[in-house]
Amino acid sequence: MQITFLGTSSMVPTKDRNHSAVFLSYGTEGILFDCGEGTQRQFKIAGISLTKTTKILITHWHGDHVLGLPGLMQTLSSLEYNQKLNIYGPKGTKKRIEAMFEAFIFDKKLDFEVHEVKEGKFFENEDFVLEAHQLEHGIEILGFKFVEKDKRKVDMKKAEKLGLDEGPSIGKLQSGHSIEHKGKKIMPDDVSYSEKGKIVAYVTDTLLCDGCYKTAKDADILICEATYSSKLAEKSEEYSHMTAKQAGQLASQANVKKLILTHFSARYKDTQELEEDARNVFNNTKCAYDLMKLDL
């Protein structure tokens, strides 16, 4: 699993920070959280093929989170993109996508499907689950959570002691089934162990609310907005945003392992003040920067 921060600015981009977008690469899946203006160019600079995108998760329909969507979809339609693009967003997303296609002329067709997401789990396969939780920003807005399922790993040293080699028997044990070997029943726990899946949470453009805690709970990585420092707490509340300190409080109270701050106001030339603000309450904090990659 790898996370790439394609844009870390808030409403106004700077020469160093693009509009909001975060890409999570997991096996054959490429999940894009938000799609601010310039996102497809950031893909190119980051060295990530745009065709790796399989899902786009839109938190809300403010421009700095979606203005890159028509351009990205138009480019995908012109490439050898041989799959269906699934777009998930809050109530009203279907209507807005339809309006987008009325506003722009797309020369080629793209196979895509739009899903309006409600509270709770909205996607599941054998590897992971996606959840959404309602946030508070004065409009329909969602926080997103990627939950990798636990995986069973085989300890080959233990397996070899029992006379087992790589093959179908190992596969059955890894999938949680017992086997018969040389007249002896071997249980999965005899040669394997369960490895807990990783959790990535994405919270942006919101007041600190119950949905933030639901989204962030037990996350290995919490990607959270820090539009302002706590010195501008009143301004932050006025515009329904969180401060860096509140992001730190959220991480601390939600049992988060690591906090990555993003969505910075253009007023901050560097992010040191914001990182220190969060570190005062949650030490394992880092400010993201455009094109930063994080391996889990």
pLDDT band of 292, cuts 50, 70, 90: very high
In 10 A of CB 109, how many CB atoms? 7
Which of 64, 205, 277, 290 is flagged as catalytic?
A: 64
pLDDT digits (tens, 9 = 90+) for 16-45: 999 999 999 999 999 999 999 999 999 999
How high is the mean pLDDT of the chain?
A: 94
Ordered by start, the domain boundaries in the chain are: 2-150+196-295, 152-193
Confidence of residue 282 (pLDDT cuts 50, 70, 90): very high
Res 165 pLDDT > 80? no
| Ranges of H-type helices in the chain | 39-46, 63-66, 69-78, 93-103, 156-161, 168-174, 188-191, 210-216, 233-238, 244-253, 272-279
The burial class, CB within 10 Å (0-12 / 13-18 / 19+), for 82 is exposed
Instruction: State pTM to two decimals.
Output: 0.90
Query: Residues of the chain with pLDDT > 90: what percent?
Result: 81
What's the pLDDT band for 105 if we cut at 50, 70, 90?
confident
pLDDT tens across 270-279, in order?
999 999 999 9
> Three-class SS of residue 115?
strand
CATH number attached to the domain at 2-150+196-295: 3.60.15.10
Q: Is 64 a catalytic residue?
A: yes
Flag whether pLDDT at 142 surpasses 90: yes
Of 78-92, 123-137, 144-158, 218-232, the least confident: 144-158
Is residue 179 very low, low, confident or very high in pLDDT (cuts 50, 70, 90)? confident
H or E element that contains 132 = strand 128-134
Question: For position 107, what pLDDT does the model report?
Answer: 78
pLDDT at 196: 92
